[in-house]
Structure 1
């Protein structure tokens, strides 16, 4: 084969590798388009205080924190922790769309991390009113870190309070979590309360008995259990 042929193959492979790098790093750009990596990052490095109730002192303080994060990220756009922190800062000043974009980016440069997806789940559920996206992101957080019990509670609450028609998945999610986190007092307490509030008396008694056995000093649980037994 000719040297020209090998040169062409090399260029094709180089371009393919470059495109893979862009995807893996999460840069929202196309090398052959009008944008580039820097403009994509710079677009995220803006700061707008949307909370009109903040005092001037707090605005100045948050602005200073932003400038510090911006400097770090301009020097190292792959600084994952700073991206996550920037999202938190944007959320703090009510820039929810800005926080969303930053955490999406953080999830792209670290797709195996749970943090950006957990933050997105909370943001979509409680601030942007997009429960389907909240469910999707919390599930991704669980996939990445199945040992964080808080994610299961978040997913269960999304089903119970945010997605009409999926309320029954609250129970299912917590029962699945209980199979993983055996005898976890918080899960058992949540299920006991859920069964009591939904008038599932037998199940409520069963779980309150488990709760009292695990935590004998819980007087509130004891009182709830006695009341349930009197209803039978």
Structure 2
């Protein structure tokens, strides 16, 4: 989440022109309190003060939603999701983009450049050409895409997945190339149980960026859940590892996907041992072959996470299954060491 970078965003004209002295004092005090709190990373204290500035300006006829935006961002940074979500929704629904125009001119007598409200700037430009020069306007960048992206994150963190999906669809109409919204769409689809749409979303993203290890991993997870696409899952996990050699979760899933349902395999072997020993032997050899194939993945998992007891225990069992007693003993000792540390 982007942090708010505050400069002197409140120009003198916003507080002085047309303001009564007591109102102007309240504005200045509220603004100072907001900025002081923000700079001290007291976001919970900054947010209501920014809203106070907004409300005071609005009451005087200046509906400047910049301060509402600052409040929403501060609430988000303070982990006050409900307040942040409400403000971000209000901003988006109001059409706020954050684009503002600043008007500057140079005082020829002093040589200083000052900022003015639009009416004053236009008046000076028409009537004071000798006293003022270098009349310029500058527009700030739009924050509309950031509004959609931040609100999406807030909604997902609050487990409001359906609301997030509706917002993402709306946002993608405006910002069809937003990588963050596309990624969030996949997260929301998966969290909502819409796995088919999630898979389609992943494939679309990978067609545009085939070097995204996380998306290959996520695709592999989905593919591994169906027997018909297990080989596709193994291919996807391998692509993730090729892009990110220390991708521990990808190695772990490769181990389990390659071995398959080992409990079921053992049950089938035991059921055939007495009545059909030849068939049982074939299943035993097939099981051993699966373990041998999965062994390099288990070693990769352990290399990526040498202090992970699950990685160590799995590798120990793999070495035992493949008759590598020395390595099995090494992993058994490592397992005991980690168990002792956890007590």
User: How far does the alpha carbon of each residue in 1:133-169 deviate from its partner, in whole angstroms, 9 at most, with x for none?
Assistant: 11111223334554443222222222234x6743442
| Cα contact 2:161–2:191 (8 A) shared by 1 | no
SS in structure 2 opposite 1:132? helix
Deviation at 1:221, TM superposition (A): 3.1
How many Å separate the matches in 2 of 1:221 and 1:95? 34
SS in structure 1 opposite 2:229? coil
SS in structure 1 opposite 2:178? coil
Ranked by relative contact order (alpha carbons within 8 Å, sequence separation 6 or more), the top structure is: 1
Per the alignment, residue 207 of structure 1 pairs with: 297
Q: Where does the alignment leave 5 or more consecutive residues of structure 2 unmatched?
A: 1-79, 99-141, 263-289, 323-343
Per the alignment, residue 137 of structure 1 pairs with: 201
Is 1:66 equivalent to 2:156 in the alignment? no
Cα RMSD, aligned residues only: 3.1
Structure 1 residues 165, 211: closer, same or farther in 2, change over 3 A? closer
Per the alignment, residue 84 of structure 1 pairs with: 149
Question: Which residues of 2 match residues 1-232 of structure 1 at below 5 A?
Answer: 62-73=81-92, 74-76=95-97, 79-92=144-157, 95-127=160-192, 129-161=193-225, 165-182=228-245, 184-199=247-262, 200-213=290-303, 220-232=310-322
Deviation at 1:201, TM superposition (A): 0.7
SS in structure 2 opposite 1:75? coil
User: Which structure dedicates a bigger proportion of its chain to strand?
Assistant: 2
Equivalences, count? 170
How many Å separate the matches in 2 of 1:146 and 1:152? 8
Structure 1 residues 143, 110: closer, same or farther in 2, change over 3 A? farther
- With the length of structure 1 as denominator, give the TM-score of the two structures: 0.59
Structure 1 residues 66, 184: closer, same or farther in 2, change over 3 A? closer
Deviation at 1:219, TM superposition (A): 5.3
Rg comparison, structure with higher value: 2
Q: Where does the alignment leave 5 or more consecutive residues of structure 1 unmatched?
A: 1-60
